[in-house]
Amino acid sequence: MSGVEAGVLAALAPLGLLALAAVAAMLAAPLERPGLSRGLAAAGVLAAGIAAAAELGAAPVTAGALLRFDLAARLGVVFAAFGALPALALLDGRARGEAAALAALTALGAASLAAASHAASLLLAFELSSLSLVGLVAFRADRAEALEAGYKLVIPAAAAAAFLTLGLALVYARTGSLALADWAGAAEGGGAARAGFAGMALLLAAFAFKLALPPFHFWLPDAFEAAPPAAAAMAGAVAKGGALIALLRLIEVGAMPPLLAEGALAALAAAAILLGAATALRQEGLMRMLGWSGVAQSGFVAAAASSGAPGAAWSALFYLGAYAFGLMAALAAAAAFEPGVSRAGLAGLLRERPWTAAALVAGLVSIAGLPASAGFSAKLTMFWTLAASGGWALFAAAAAGSLLGLFVYGRFAAAAMQAAGGAGCAARAPGAGGRALAAALAAALLLGTAAPLLAPGLPASPFGGP
């Protein structure tokens, strides 16, 4: 076996392990022992994450025509695998084994999307992560809300897939190539070349759906509210990761023209930030608030990505990573309550369930962008890219959204600090695992503050390789 093949195999192994995790969970499902399915899926996902993390330092590898593993792709695989892990931990113990399989499949889709370098793999990975997410969101099909959220997701998902297909077709018509590397300048020029521009615009719309940027955002709050927290973790963080990296790669190779990559994306970002934060402010339900906040947070990610400043891609990736940790911590707390817990229902959390409260408060502090947390550093670097590129209008929108966000998260954090009424705190007491998860997430959020100090050791762009 030659060295090149070994490198390709090592790069593909995590994807294989994710697929294996899904298959194993699926095969175990008929045994009707949900714990077994979850355990198998978690083991596979963990192995995939470790395998991918071990390869982070390797040189870029091309696996056939479909996949290319540069540093960003490898990071995307790590993110998908380790993001699926807490999602599996959050899965309701009574949920049937298929749910674990769907979570692993969503992660596989997101990971493949991050590595896709060809129209075919782009489309397949996009569909895989969308459709398995639909299954996960609508998993409790006996609940009307879950079914409704599933419909609200499947229709835009189908529309987005159509956008993507048509967009890819137009780009192909313009460039004559299905390989992403050949699409540089696809949208430039007039006349027939306008097909390339239209194609790229459609691709941007498809990714905006995945990232839940307005006007393609409405499915996310519904999914958060109706689906189990595990599905929210997959929809709110993991699935966004693959889409973000694919979008950044299109920008990086020069396929996405500045008018779209900077102008349109910045507009989408501003709309997401302001709409998401303003709507989150009016929510009284914890999950629905987190859903709308997820729209706003995608806006911050897109803002960083749209800045065009050096390091913009790093900033966007860092922001999404920090947000994922904050979201997982908040979801870990939400999972301790009955579905549909309201702000008032959080009362007594800090006094009676300090571990759960620590996770919730740490998560909210980080998402709000206050120190000392990963979210603070992420927000600061996001503002940094905007300042460095002179995007002061977007800076102002992001600042306004951050302020609204303080209100949003401050209200919920303060509610968790209030004394409970007569009935006591409504949250279940966490087990040893729950405490460990809460403590680990809170610690990660705290330590993440220092993440920008790693910046000097990173390559200028995540798309070259280390």
Partner 1 sequence: MILVGLILLPLIGGLALPLVARFAPGAEDRPVRLATLGVMAAQAALAVAALFGAGAGDGRWLALHRTPWASGVGIELHLAGDGLSLGLVTLTAALGAVSTLASWREIRRRVVLFHLCICGTVTAATGVFLSFDLLLFVFFWEGMLVPAFILIALYGHGARERSALKFLIYNQVGGLALIAAVLAMGAGASPPVFDAFALAEVERSPAAALWLLLGMSAAFLVKLPAVPVHGWLPDAHTDAPTAGSILLAGVLLKTGAYGLYRFPPMLFPEAMVQVAPYAMALGLAGILYGGLLACGQTDAKRLIAYTSVSHMGFVLMGIFALNPLARTGAAVEMFAHAFSASALFLVVGALHARLGTHRMDALGGLQATAPRLAGGFAFFAAAALAMPGTANFVGEALVILGTFQVAWPLGLGAAAALVLSVVYATLLLRNTVFGEPGTRPTEDADLREAAAMLALAAAVLVVGLQPQMLIELLTPAQEAVGRALEAASGGG
Residues that bind partner 1 (CB under 8 A): 350-351, 365, 370-372, 376, 380, 383-388, 390, 395, 399, 402-403, 406-407, 410-411, 413-415, 417-418, 449, 452-456
Choose between 17 and 438: whose C-beta lies nearer to partner 1: 438
> What are the φ/ψ torsions at residue 342 (nearest 5 degrees)?
-100, 175
The residue among 264 and 438 lying less far from partner 1, judged by its C-beta, is 438
How far is residue 157's CA from residue 31's CA, in Å, rounded to a whole number?
32
List the beta bridge partners of residue 68.
Answer: 62
**Which CB atom, from 112 or from 389, has the smaller least distance to partner 1?**
389
3-state class (DSSP) for residue 215: coil
Residue 371 CB, shortest distance to partner 1, in Å, is 4
Instruction: Find tokens 């239209």 and name the residue.
Output: 198
**Cβ proximity to partner 1, 211 vs 358, nearer residue:** 358
Distances (CA, A) of 172 to 117, 251, 253: 14, 17, 16
**Smallest separation, CB 279 to partner 1 (Å):** 18
Q: Which is nearer to partner 1, 258 or 410 (CB)?
A: 410
Task: Tell me how far apart the alpha carbons of residues 169 and 462 are, in angstroms, rounded to a whole number.
Answer: 28
Q: Any idea what the Cα angle at residue 203 is, between residues 198 and 208, rounded to 5°?
A: 125
- CA–CA gap between residue 100 and residue 111 (Å, rounded): 17
- Tell me how crowded residue 32 is: count the other CB atoms within 10 A of its CB: 10
Q: What is the nearest approach in angstroms of partner 1 to the Cβ of residue 134? A: 38
Q: By C-beta, is 133 or 394 nearer to partner 1?
A: 394
Determine the residue type at 338: E
- If the CB atoms of residues 130 and 389 are measured against partner 1, the closer one turns out to be 389
Say how far apart CA 33 and CA 294 lie, in whole Å. 33
Closest approach, Cβ 414 to partner 1, in A, equals 4
Q: How far is the CB of 403 from partner 1 (least distance, A)?
A: 6
Phi, psi (degrees; rounded to nearest 5) at 118: -150, 150
Least gap, CB of 441 to partner 1 (angstroms)? 17
Dist CA 124 CA 119 (whole Å): 9
CB atoms within 10 A of CB 189: 12
Q: 369-386: buried (b, 16+ CB within 10 Å) or exposed (e) per residue? A: bbeebbbbbbbebbbbbb
Q: How near is the Cβ of 453 to partner 1 at its closest, in Å?
A: 4
CB of 450 to partner 1, least distance (A): 9
Is 165 or 342 the residue whose CB approaches partner 1 more closely? 342
